Every structure is written in C-alpha cells, then in structure tokens.
Amino acid sequence: MNRKTISRTGATKNLSDSASRGLASLLALTILSFTTTPSLSSAAEMSWDLGAATGSYGGSSYTEANLGLNWFLLDYLNWRNALFGRFVSGADNVFGLDSSLRLQTFLSTESGGLGVGFFAGPGYRFARSDYSAAFLEGGVQFKLGGLRIGGGVKQFYYSNPGLDVLGNRLPNTDTVYFIILSGGGVL
C-alpha cells in the first residue's frame, strides 16, 4: 500500500454557535470512544474517497461533490471528515465540512478480493449558519478487487434553516442520496 503525507489546509474562522456546539459534542464522543475501548484497531489506518449526491431542498435542485478522509479508529468505527460543495440551481452554492462517526461492518472473501460492507452513524455539517446541521447517515459498499463502490442516504436536521430564493422559510429536514467511489486510497 502506498502511504502519503497528509497536510492540513486552512480552517474556517467563523463558526456559528450551533456549529461550535456540534463540534464539541463530536469531540466528546470521540474522546469517549477512546476511553471506553481498551485498544485501537490493529489495522488503524486512513483512506480517502470521492462522493457525489443529488437532491432538492426548498424547491431548488442541487448536486453535491465531496472528498472524504476516513480514519479507522477501531475495526468497527470510522471517523470521516469530508470537504463538500453543494451546487444549487438558482441560489448560492454552499461549501463546508461534514464530520461523522460511522459504525461499520465488512464481510469479504478469504482472499479479500470481494466483499460487502454496511455503515451508519451520526454527524454534523459545518457550513454557513443556515446550512449547518446535525445528520444521520447509512449505506452499503461493495468491494471488487481494489475498488469500492457504494451508496447511501443522509438525513439533515437544521436548527436554523434559512429562506429560499422566494423568501419562504426552508424545511427543517433534508434527505440526500449519495454514491461513494474509493479504491487503493490508503494513506
């Protein structure tokens, strides 16, 4: 496996209060997972993936793209952080960070060439105040050699939804369907 150096880029300077509370909760949950688990996965590693999604929110359709970094804390626990862009038709685009803790399981053949995995967990979207939201997600991935492809669903729960392009209040929830493509992306 190729190992690559990971560098940090600039972070958002202004987080809304709800985003700060969400980050604090996620950090507390991560610390709790370290203190309640006797050891980390013997295969603790990082990988990357690309994702795409589509949906409609407040009457405007959108497409999303993301680049995710997965840190496998335990054999069954993945902390995923993904930079995303939501490209909205007829409205402002949205950019930010999705951070989630995914419980997961993976079944594969003895050789490891074929397999299927499932994941589910909570997370938080850090974006401008009217697009920051807690979320739940779940999905499935199929492994074919060095390639993994899958899909899932993500349900957002907005605490402070904004207004659509016509000035109407946006809904408190939003459902996104997504696909995942990864392969040989161990860092």
Residues 6+ apart with CB under 8 A from 134: 22, 122, 123, 124, 125, 156, 157, 159
The answer as to whether 8 is a domain residue is no
As given in the structure block, the two tokens for residue 131 are: 């697009």
Residue 169, Cα to own-chain centre: how many angstroms? 26
- CATH code for the domain of 153: 2.40.160
Using the Cα atoms of residue 137, residue 127, residue 185 and residue 77 in order, give the sign of their dihedral.
negative
The answer as to whether 7 is a domain residue is no
The answer as to whether 4 is a domain residue is no
**66 has pLDDT over 70:** yes
The answer as to whether 12 is a domain residue is no
Confidence of residue 186 (pLDDT cuts 50, 70, 90): low
- pTM (2 d.p.): 0.74
Task: Summarize pLDDT for 115-167 with one digit per residue, the tens.
Answer: 999 999 999 999 998 899 999 999 999 999 888 899 999 999 999 898 887 88
Number of folded domains in the chain? 1
Give 127's Cβ-side CA count (13 Å radius): 24
CB distance 164 to 158 below 8 Å: no
The answer as to whether 6 is a domain residue is no
**105 has pLDDT over 80:** yes
The answer as to whether 41 is a domain residue is yes
- Quick one: average pLDDT of 177-185? 81
The answer as to whether 153 is a domain residue is yes
Which backbone phi and psi does 20 adopt, to 5 degrees?
-65, -40
The answer as to whether 93 is a domain residue is yes
Instruction: Tell me the residue range of the domain where 147 lies.
Output: 17-183
